[in-house]
C-alpha cells in the first residue's frame, strides 16, 4: 500500500468531517421544519375548535365529522382518541395519510349525545417542506459539493503548516543527522509535539553515539593492552621451542594465534572507518586450514576447500580472518568426524560439516553473533542452517556483488 502524505490524509479527514457535519445539520434543519409545519397545522386545528365554539370564524379546510364518517382505512387509528376522557389541555391530535395525495390531521372534540366528534383538517395543501425540499435538492446538492470542496481546500491549507513542520524534521533526520542538527530542527518546530519528538530523537542519538564512543574506546584499550603480553608470549614460546614437545608447542602456537587474531579483530572493531584490501580468498583460506588441520585430524575430520581458486574480494584482513577462524574452530569443536567442506564462488563462502545427533546448536550461538557483528560492519551477512545432515554456514555480501 502506497503511503499518503500528511496533508492529503488530514485534508481528506477534515473534508469528510465537514461533510458529515453539514449533512447532520441539514437533516436536523429538515426535521425541525417538519416539526414546525405540523405544529402550525395543529395550531390551525385548535383555532378551528374555538371557531366551532363560536369564538372565531370557521376555517374552510376543517370539517366536523363523526366516527362513522371517517374513512374506514384509518378509523381504527383514531378510535382511541374518542375513548379518552376529553381534556382541553391534552394532545388529542393524530396525523394520518389516507393515500399518496391525501394527508389529514384529526383532533378529537368532547363527545355529545350522538357520540364522538372529530375535527378533520385537510392538510395536503399546507405541506410545504417536502415539496420545497424536492425542488431545492439539486441546488442543495450543488451547494454541498461546493462547500465540501472549499472545506477540503481550507483543510489542506491548514495542515500544510503541520506537513511543513514534519517535513523539516524528517529532512534533518535523513541528511546525515547529528545531535546539533536535530536539536536545531526541533527548536524551530512551531508545534509542541513535533518539538518534543525532535528533542527525544536528539537525546536518543546522543546516547547512542556516546555508547558507541565508549565501546570504541574500550575496544582500542583492550587491543592496545593485549599487544604487549602477546608479544612477550610469542618471544617466550620461541625461546622455549626446543625445550617442549612438538604437540604441546603446536597447541600453544594455535592458542597464541587465536589470541592474536582476536586482538586484531578487537582493534579493527574499534576503528571508525574499516580499511579493505584486495584479498586472494583461496590462499587466505588455505592458511587458516593449515593452521587448524592438525586439530581437525585429531577429531577424525579433514578440511576440503573447493570453488574458484582465483577469486579476489575487497575485505579487511583482520575482520575476515577473525570470522573465518571462528567458524572453522566451531565446525571442528562441534562437528562430527568427516569432511568439513568450504566452497567459494563469486556469490558466497559456504561451510558444511556433519554434526553429532546429540550435539545442540547452542555452542554456535555466541560465535555466530560475534561473526555476524563483524560481517555487518563490512556489509556482509551470515546465514546459519541446521538440519539432520549437519550445519551450513553461508557468508555473502549484502549486495551480492561478484569478486573483484
Distance CA 163, CA 140 (A): 33
In a domain, 15, yes or no: yes
Q: How many domains, the chain?
A: 2
In a domain, 225, yes or no: no
In a domain, 12, yes or no: yes
**Which of 83, 115, 132 is the last residue in one of the domains?**
132
Nearest to 61 by CA among 117, 111, 125: 125
pLDDT for residue 99: 60
pLDDT for residue 341: 92
**Which of 90, 107, 132 is the last residue in one of the domains?**
132
Q: Which of 51-65, 133-147, 198-212, 273-287 has the highest mean pLDDT?
A: 198-212
| Mean pLDDT for the stretch of residues 324-331 | 85
> Residue 342 pLDDT more than 80?
yes
In a domain, 149, yes or no: no
- pTM listed for this prediction: 0.46
- Residue 60 — pLDDT band, cuts 50, 70, 90? low
In a domain, 364, yes or no: yes
Q: By the 8 A CB rule, do 173 and 182 touch?
A: yes
Q: Which of 1-15, 129-143, 242-256, 336-350 has the highest mean pLDDT?
A: 336-350
> Residue 89 pLDDT more than 60?
no
Distance CA 37, CA 95 (A): 12
Count CA atoms closer than 13 A to 334's CA, side-chain side.
21
Residue 63: Cβ-neighbour burial (10 angstroms; 0-12, 13-18, 19+): middle
- Residue 402 — pLDDT band, cuts 50, 70, 90? very low
| Mean pLDDT for the stretch of residues 48-59 | 63
> Residue 403 pLDDT more than 50?
no
DSSP secondary structure of 22-48: HHHHHHHHHHHHHHHHHHHHHHHHHHH
Determine which of 88-97, 112-121, 341-350, 361-370 has the lowest per-residue pLDDT on average: 88-97
Distance CA 204, CA 9 (A): 29
| Mean pLDDT for the stretch of residues 178-196 | 79
Which residues are paired to 387 by β-bridges? Answer: 390
Nearest to 219 by CA among 313, 292, 322: 322
- C-alpha cell recorded at residue 278: 584486495
Does an H or E element contain 398, and which?
none
> Residue 194 pLDDT more than 80?
no
Determine which of 85-99, 168-182, 250-264 has the lowest per-residue pLDDT on average: 85-99
In the predicted model, what is the mean pLDDT of the chain?
Answer: 74
| Mean pLDDT for the stretch of residues 334-348 | 88
Sole residue written with cell 479527514? 13
**Which of 87, 102, 132 is the last residue in one of the domains?**
132
In a domain, 175, yes or no: no
Instruction: Outline where 240-305 has alpha helix (H).
Output: 246-269, 281-298
> Residue 328 pLDDT more than 80?
yes
Does an H or E element contain 214, and which?
helix 192-239
pLDDT digits (tens, 9 = 90+) for 147-156: 777 777 777 7
pLDDT digits (tens, 9 = 90+) for 156-168: 777 777 777 777 7
Quick one: what percent of the chain has pLDDT higher than 70?
63
Which residues are paired to 119 by β-bridges? Answer: 64, 107
More confident residue, 213 or 42: 213
Quick one: what percent of the chain has pLDDT higher than 90?
2
| Mean pLDDT for the stretch of residues 181-200 | 80
Q: What is the CATH number of the domain that holds 303?
A: 3.30.565.10
Range of the domain at 53: 6-132
In a domain, 336, yes or no: yes
In a domain, 291, yes or no: yes
Determine which of 141-155, 254-268, 367-381 has the lowest per-residue pLDDT on average: 254-268
Amino acid at each position: 500500500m502506497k503511503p499518503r502524505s500528511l496533508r492529503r490524509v488530514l485534508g481528506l479527514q477534515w473534508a469528510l468531517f465537514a461533510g458529515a457535519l453539514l449533512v447532520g445539520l441539514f437533516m436536523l434543519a429538515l426535521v425541525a421544519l417538519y416539526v414546525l409545519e405540523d405544529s402550525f397545522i395543529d395550531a390551525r386545528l385548535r383555532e378551528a375548535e374555538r371557531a366551532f365554539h363560536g369564538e372565531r370564524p370557521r376555517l374552510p379546510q376543517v370539517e366536523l365529522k363523526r366516527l362513522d364518517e371517517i374513512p374506514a382505512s384509518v378509523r381504527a387509528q383514531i378510535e382511541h382518541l374518542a375513548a379518552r376522557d376529553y381534556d382541553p389541555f391534552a394532545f388529542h391530535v393524530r396525523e394520518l395519510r389516507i393515500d399518496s395525495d391525501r394527508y389529514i390531521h384529526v383532533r378529537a372534540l368532547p363527545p355529545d349525545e350522538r357520540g364522538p366528534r372529530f375535527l378533520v383538517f385537510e392538510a395536503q395543501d399546507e405541506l410545504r417542506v417536502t415539496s420545497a425540499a424536492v425542488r431545492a435538492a439539486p441546488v442543495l446538492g450543488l451547494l454541498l459539493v461546493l462547500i465540501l470542496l472549499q472545506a477540503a481546500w481550507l483543510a489542506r491549507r491548514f495542515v500544510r503548516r503541520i506537513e511543513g513542520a514534519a517535513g523539516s524534521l524528517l529532512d534533518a533526520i535523513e541528511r546525515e543527522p547529528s545531535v546539533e542538527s536535530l536539536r536545531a530542527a526541533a527548536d524551530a518546530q512551531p508545534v509542541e509535539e513535533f518539538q518534543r519528538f525532535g528533542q527525544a530523537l536528539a537525546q536518543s542519538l546522543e546516547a547512542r553515539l556516546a555508547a558507541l564512543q565508549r565501546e570504541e574506546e574500550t575496544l582500542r584499550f583492550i587491543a592496545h593492552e593485549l599487544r604487549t603480553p602477546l608479544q612477550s608470549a610469542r618471544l617466550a614460546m620461541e625461546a622455549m621451542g626446543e625445550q617442549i614437545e612438538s604437540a604441546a608447542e603446536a597447541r600453544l602456537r594455535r592458542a597464541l594465534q587465536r589470541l592474536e587474531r582476536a586482538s586484531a579483530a578487537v582493534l579493527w572493531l574499534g576503528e571508525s572507518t574499516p580499511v579493505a584490501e584486495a584479498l586472494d580468498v583461496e590462499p587466505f583460506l588455505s592458511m587458516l586450514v593449515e593452521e587448524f588441520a592438525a586439530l581437525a585430524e585429531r577429531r577424525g575430520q579433514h578440511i576440503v576447500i573447493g570453488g574458484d581458486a582465483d577469486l579476489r574480494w575487497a575485505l579487511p584482513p583482520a575482520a575476515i580472518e577473525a570470522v573465518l577462524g571462528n567458524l572453522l574452530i566451531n565446525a571442528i569443536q562441534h562437528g562430527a568426524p568427516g569432511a568439513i567442506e568450504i566452497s567459494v564462488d563469486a556469490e558466497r563462502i559456504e561451510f558444511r560439516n556433519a554434526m553429532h545427533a546429540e550435539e545442540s546448536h547452542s555452542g554456535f550461538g555466541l560465535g555466530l553473533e560475534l561473526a555476524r557483528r563483524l560481517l555487518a560492519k563490512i556489509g556482509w551477512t551470515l546465514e546459519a542452517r541446521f538440519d539432520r545432515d549437519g550445519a551450513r554456514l553461508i557468508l555473502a555480501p549484502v549486495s551480492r556483488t561478484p569478486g573483484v
